Every structure is written in C-alpha cells, then in structure tokens.
C-alpha cells in the first residue's frame, strides 16, 4: 500500500488542479448565465417602460402649459422624438434577442401607437389646461384601457422566456402513462385421453 501511494503521489497535484479547474469553470458558466439573464431582464423591462412613456404622452400633451405654447410644442415634440427612437431601438433588439417575445412586443408597440397616438392627436387639437381641475383627465377623454391585454401578453412572454428550463419542465403537467392490458387467466388443461372427468359426487369409474 505505501508503494501504491508513492506511485500515485506525482499525479495527485495534477488531479487536484483538474478538479479545481472544473469547479471554477462550472462556477464561471453559472455566473455568465446569471449575468446574461439579468441583462435580458433589464432590457426587456426597459422595453416595457418606453412603451408606457409613449402612452403617457397623451396626458402630457393635454397638460401642456398655455402661457408658453411655442416652448411647450418644442419640448413635447423633442420628448416624443426621443421616446420614438427608443421604442424603435427596443423593437429591433427584442425581435433579435427573443423572437417569441419580439412578436408580443411588436403587438404591444403597434397597439400603443394606435391608441395613444390617436389620443395625442386629439390632445393637440384641444386647448391646453387652464386650471387645476382640468389636470384630472377622465377615461372619456384619454382611454388607454385597450392596452391592458397586449401588456399582459408581453409580460407573460417575458416571464416564459426568462424562466429556467428545468423549472419550466417541472411546471408542465404530468402525462399519465397508459396501463398495460391485463392478460386473460390461463385456460385449464384438457383431460388426458382415455380418462373421464371427475363426477361432482365421487371419483371417475366408481359405482353410484
């Protein structure tokens, strides 16, 4: 045994280095995955945020100042231009990074531009607010409830994309395995040739 230990001695350091390298490699891979997941989560949240900012512009236009109309037009136009640029950038990024999420985001952006865009047009054609009571804008004036379903679909797509695969498999319903059909019971063997079956009351060939 001591000779075997001595013979294995030179390889112990190599084996320890290999095990250490394997552990460090696994840890680095886990860390990279966590960083990638966090980066995706931040950018997908940013994509949702910019769609909210675009929709909120309908209220901002309604609440523009009346005493500085020219400055307000420039300010709101520049703000909207920046939001539009960010919206377009996020559309391209989400579509490239996660096509299944990109489809939901395209639907969200399209609906937001239609609904909120029309509200902004109506707001520009209306006079700016003149007092504090006009700051309260009812849904009869700006109604964004039509965006609720597409927002929910986008968030569901993001959640499904970021969910770990192992956890996703555990969440799937179990499919019951089909049971094997039971085989019929064995048939009794036929009596031998030249013998009669036993009578209910006695043995074969006996007197009554």
Helical pair 2-62 and 69-97, crossing angle rounded to 10 deg = 150
Decide if 2 is inside a domain: no
Which residue shows structure tokens 């900012």? Answer: 53
Name residue, tokens 């250490």: 20
Whether residue 194 lies inside any domain: the answer is: no
- Nearest to 62, CA basis, from 122, 1, 11: 122
In a domain, 178, yes or no: no
Identify whether the C-beta of residue 57 lies closer than 8 Å to the C-beta of residue 76: yes
Mean pLDDT of 162-191: 53
Beta-bridged to residue 199, according to DSSP, are 202
Residue 124 has pLDDT above 50, yes or no: yes
Residue 75 near residue 42 (C-beta atoms within 8 A): no
pLDDT over 90 percentage in the chain: 47
First to last CA, the chain: 86
Find all residues with CB under 8 Å of 151, minimum gap 6, and list them.
48, 51, 108
Domain membership flag for residue 204: no
Helix H segments across the chain?
A: 2-62, 69-97, 99-124, 148-162, 165-171
Distance CA 73, CA 61 (A): 9
- 37/195 Cα distance (integer angstroms): 83
Domain of residue 111, CATH code: 1.20.120
Residues 151, 91: Cα–Cα separation, whole Å: 15
Query: How many structural domains compose the chain?
Result: 1
pLDDT at 97: 87
Determine, yes or no, domain membership for 129. Answer: yes
Stretch 103-110: mean pLDDT: 96
pTM of the model: 0.64
Q: Cα separation of 132 and 66, whole Å?
A: 13
Extract the tokens encoding 15. Answer: 């084996």
Confidence class for position 200, pLDDT limits 50, 70, 90: very low
| Residue 25 falls inside a structural domain | yes
Report how far Cα 32 is from the mean position of its chain's Cα atoms. 20
Domain contains 45 = yes
pLDDT tens figures, 28-82? 555 555 556 678 889 899 999 999 999 999 999 999 998 999 999 999 999 999 9
In a domain, 87, yes or no: yes
Q: Which domain holds residue 85?
A: 8-168
């Amino acid at each position: 045994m001591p000779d075997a230990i001595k013979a294995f001695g030179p390889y112990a350091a190599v084996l320890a280095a290999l095990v250490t390298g394997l552990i460090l490699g696994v840890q680095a891979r886990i860390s990279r995955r966590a960083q990638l997941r966090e980066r995706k989560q931040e950018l997908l949240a940013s994509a949702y945020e910019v769609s909210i900012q675009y929709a909120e512009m309908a209220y901002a236009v309604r609440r523009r100042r009346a005493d500085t109309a020219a400055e307000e037009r420039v300010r709101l136009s520049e703000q909207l231009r920046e939001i539009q640029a960010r919206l377009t950038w996020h559309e391209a990024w989400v579509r490239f990074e996660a096509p299944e999420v990109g489809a939901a985001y395209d639907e969200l952006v399209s609906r937001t531009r239609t609904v909120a865009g029309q509200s902004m047009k109506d707001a520009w054609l209306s006079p700016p607010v003149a007092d504090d009571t006009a700051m309260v804008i009812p849904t009869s004036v700006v109604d964004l409830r039509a965006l609720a379903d597409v927002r929910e679909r986008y968030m569901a797509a993001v959640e499904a994309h970021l969910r770990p695969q192992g956890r996703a498999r555990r969440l799937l319903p179990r499919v019951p395995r089909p049971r094997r059909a039971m085989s019929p019971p064995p048939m009794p063997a036929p009596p031998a040739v030249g013998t009669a079956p036993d009578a209910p009351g006695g043995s074969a060939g006996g007197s009554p």
